[in-house]
Homo-oligomer: A and B are copies of this chain.
Amino acid sequence: MRRSALLALAGFALPACVALAQPPQPASDQAALIAQFDGNIRPGEIRDFNKLLSAEPNHVGSPHDKANADFMLAQFKSWGWDARIEEFQVLYPTPLDEKLEMLGPKPFTATLQEPPIPDDSSSTAKNPALPAYVEYQGDGDVTAPLVYVNYGGFDDYERLEQLGISVKGKIVIARYGQGWRGLKPQLAQDHGAIGCIIYSDPADDGYSVDLPYPDGPARPSQGIQRGSVMDMMIYPGDPLTPGVGATQKAQRLPREDAPTILKIPVLPISYGDAAVIMAAMDGQVAPANWRGHMAITYRVGGGDAPVHMMVKSEWSLKPIYDVIAVMKGSIWPDQWVVRGNHHDGWVFGSSDPLAGQSAMLEEAKALGAMKKAGWKPKRSIVYASWDAEEPMLLSSTEWAETHAEELRNKAVLYINSDGNSRGVLSIGGSEDLQKFAGRVMTGLTDPETGLPVADRRRARLQLASGSDHTRFMARQAADPAKDMPIDALGSGSDYTPFLQHLGVATIDFGYGGEGNSNGVYHSRYDTFEHHSKFVDPGFVYDAMLAKTVGRAVILATDADLPIQHAGNFADASAQYVTELKGLADEQRRMAEARLTLLTARAYERAADPTKPHADPAPLKAVPDFDFGALEQAVDVLKKSAAAYDGAIAAHGGKLSSGNRAKLLTLMQSIDQSLLSEQGLPGHSWYKNLIYAPGRFTGYGAKTMPGVREAIEEESFEDVTKYVVLTAVALKAYAAKLDQATALLQQSS
């Protein structure tokens, strides 16, 4: 769809037409630059972008997806960027036909479509929304009894076994939440289930949480969460082109051989439908912590009442459109600051991703205005509006794989954002960017409280509790001598190929926690109306995101010294090793305690004799691991980091331009030292030895994942191997620091 048509459809003035507020004059210093940037960030324009981009369904393959890309391309160009669309061809199945029905005495057919809500984009859009589906499920037509598997995680199957229930040959029904969506059907399939239904329980994002939309922000009874169920733990991106870009000419796997596509059919449903289907289930009452908030008795099922489900998809390749816009650097054009946000949504996608996308457009507009006003960025800036993030980071992955060599040699930093809402700033990234993140926050003021954004973030960190690492971060946040900590990154957005496949230093920003978008997450009701009423009224936090990322872009682009600060990374590494040792100790204690209880036959004796019972399986005895190599590497790193940070402070300002260029080139790739070519066990596409998504838990970060997951998964033979590999990586990082320190000391 062409832009003019798209605009006619949306029926409002072009945001790009607004005049630039700042007079075209060169900014004399960084503070002035930032003031100039901020002056060009206007919530009303972000609102207009959002309204336009979210006016129609914009999933991969939809007319509006292409129209949005074309619109953005024109915008970038109009703002003075060197912009183009990069297209890839990816496997993206869409539903042709689907059915979910209860057979038996009370026949019932599930809705599988979300009815329009008056005065909402869901009722005003002209293009159709696809019915309920999850991406990369396996198609099929199956009839079998249902088994309720709670969240469908590892522990849940362990519990089912103790309850004497098998899912073999059955269809499972799992609730959304507590771990990554894709793990639910994957584990169901691994346990022999022939189909999988995933529903949104009102306890997690429905009426329990708030009034349902349109009265409030929460999920209405017919709201459905779409999503990808690709086995992203093998690799993300196009299933047919692992490791290489999905260009027209790329070699493709046959669909049957693509390991990231499921074999069984999967359907997502609403709690309106789930309440009817699950009220008819039989079998034992579900364990206490399996019970959601529907007004029914949750039962595990497994009896006679059969359910029929059918999913049939259209499996052709679809084009996806990355809008890539470049502003060339004046001093170090071969050092790139890459900044991305995706533009595809599951339906309208107003909060996810268009809140972030609209903020990014506003940034690009403001940077364009600064350039026109005379600003010459020292490094090159690359803005990327990704397509097809939702099916699993498709276009960012394909782009990163296509440009891997260039990125390895040029990318200084990848800056990401995604959905956004009212609330407090979250920052995730490599810990060597902690001080950089602190500089980004400087001078940012929360639009509703008038407090410094940094103060609100610090307060949230201080109040958090839970894991050892959360408490470590709370202590760091409370210590005025420390830089405010940032979160390690797992996955769930476009930074993954940069950070975890290529080792590019990465940072991710987003506001959240006070605007409830969970209730419409990945549903047809994530609309402009919902976002502007409940998620970010006035678009002031979306504007804050633009200001925040704008600072990051400007600071990274114009920095005369490397953006990394090594001490924080050394401290974090030391903490991670402490956590690993604690994890091994705790797991050893648990294995011993379970063995004691099994030997004493305690589980069996305490069980209700009228209910099926099986003892929990014994845990593998945990040997004493030698973490010495890792501890020694951390000591080396600490010393190198202290020397480097000291040398930067002492000599950073005195560098000759030759040595400065050498230093910047050296440090551009330092985070790549943390990769290992052989990657992580079982998912070798993931090469970063410090940060990874959990192989069996999904988006949440696993730090020092080779060691951590080897302990957690009882692959004890891998522990020592990855202790050594991780130690080697830390020492390689330290060695680069030492080279940099030497360069700096030459300047004195």
Contacts and interface: CB of A to CB of B under 8 A. Distances in A.
Interface of A: 202-203, 207-212, 216, 218, 285, 288, 291, 293-298, 422-424, 448-449, 451, 455-456, 458-460, 462-463, 478, 513-514, 596-597, 600-606, 608-610
Contacts of A212: 297
Contacts of A602: 458-459, 462-463
Contacts of A610: 448, 514
Given A605-B451, A609-B448, A295 B297 contact: no
A606 B459 contact: yes
Contact of A460 (B295, B462, B514, B606): B606
Contacts of A207: 295-297
A348 to B, nearest CB: 24
A145 to B, nearest CB: 19
Number of copies: 2
B462 A291 contact: no
A294 B451 CA distance: 39
B514 A459 contact: no
A295 to B, nearest CB: 4
Contact of A478 (B296, B423, B449, B600): B600
Contact of A605 (B209, B210, B423, B459): B459
10 contacts: A202-B295, A209-B285, A210-B297, A423-B608, A451-B605, A458-B600, A458-B602, A459-B600, A459-B606, A462-B600
A294 B295 CA distance: 6
A597 B295 contact: no
A231 B422 CA distance: 46
A532 to B, nearest CB: 15
Contact of A606 (B211, B295, B463, B605): B463
B597 A463 contact: yes
A462 B455 CA distance: 47
Contacts of A463: 597, 602-603, 606
A276 to B, nearest CB: 13
Given A463-B597, A513-B608, 19 more contacts: A210-B285, A210-B297, A211-B285, A211-B297, A216-B285, A216-B297, A293-B293, A293-B295, A449-B609, A451-B605, A455-B601, A455-B605, A458-B600, A459-B600, A459-B601, A459-B606, A462-B600, A462-B606, A463-B606
A204 to B, nearest CB: 11
A281 B613 CA distance: 43
B218 A297 contact: yes
A231 to B, nearest CB: 32
A281 to B, nearest CB: 12
Contact of A291 (B293, B456, B460, B603): B293
Contacts of A293: 291, 293, 295
Most central of A423, A458, A459 by chain B CB within 10 Å = A459
A90 B295 CA distance: 42
Contact of A298 (B208, B459, B605): B208
Nearest to A448: B609
Nearest to A537: B610
A708 to B, nearest CB: 25
Of A602, A603, A610, most buried by chain B (CB within 10 Å of CB) is A602
- List of 5 A-B pairs having minimum Cβ-Cβ separation, nearest first: A459-B605, A459-B606, A295-B295, A459-B602, A514-B608
A210 B297 CA distance: 6
Contacts of A422: 608
A514 to B, nearest CB: 4
Most buried by B among A211, A297, A423, A455: A297
